[in-house]
Amino acid sequence: MVSCSNPLDAYWMIQQAIASDDPVIFFEPKRRYHEKGEVDPDGRPMPLHQARVVKSGSDLTLLTYGPMVRTCVEAALAASEEGRHVEVVDLRSLSPLDEHTIVESVTRTGRAVVVHEAVKNLGLGAEIAARVQEKCFFSLEAPVLRVTGYDLPYPPSHLEQGYLPDLDRVLDAVDRALAY
């Protein structure tokens, strides 16, 4: 299962998914359909199941995927104005997870916040938080926090902005994690 966060990943990941001998579920975030970005058809794609560090940081790691990557980058930039260095990791592959990149980042920063659009209860963020807790326990300086959609049925399109995690909710979690 993979989820693209930008036009370049969309271009390469769909081709890699089609060419894969294994079945691949490709999540297409409809909010990104009309997003523009540079794509080099002659370039070299990242491996399909490898996470990407979008923004480096040393104080906290935001683990996210799909449309939430942009929100997390905005949160990291806002936090940098206050002298906080937040790293953003685009998971890209949801199954299998690139645990190596996740563990390396969280071990270095000591804090993790998982951000995704799905509900909190039984969402992928719970699995990611559990793995971070298991693999990075002695490096963690704060509990792993999650910023997610609310535990409600997904609302109609005209109400989804109130449901989805936004900049303020992500920054609130960053502040809570850094307060430990």
Tokens 């209860």 — which residue?
Answer: 121
Q: Where do the domains of the chain lie, and which CATH numbers do they carry?
A: 2-32 (no CATH), 52-178 (3.40.50.920)
**Residue 93's beta-bridge partner residues?**
2
pLDDT score recorded for residue 29: 79
Mean pLDDT, range 47-68, rounded to an integer:
97
Q: How confident is the model at residue 111 (pLDDT cuts 50, 70, 90)?
A: very high
**CA–CA distance from 32 to each of 3, 51, 68, 70 (Å)?**
11, 19, 11, 10
pLDDT average, residue stretch 106-111: 98
SS3 67: coil
pLDDT in tens, 2-38: 999 999 999 999 999 999 999 999 998 777 777 888 8
pTM over 0.85: yes
Task: Decide if 94 contacts 124 (C-beta within 8 A).
Answer: yes
Q: Is the pLDDT of residue 120 over 80?
A: yes
How confident is the model at residue 13, as a pLDDT?
95
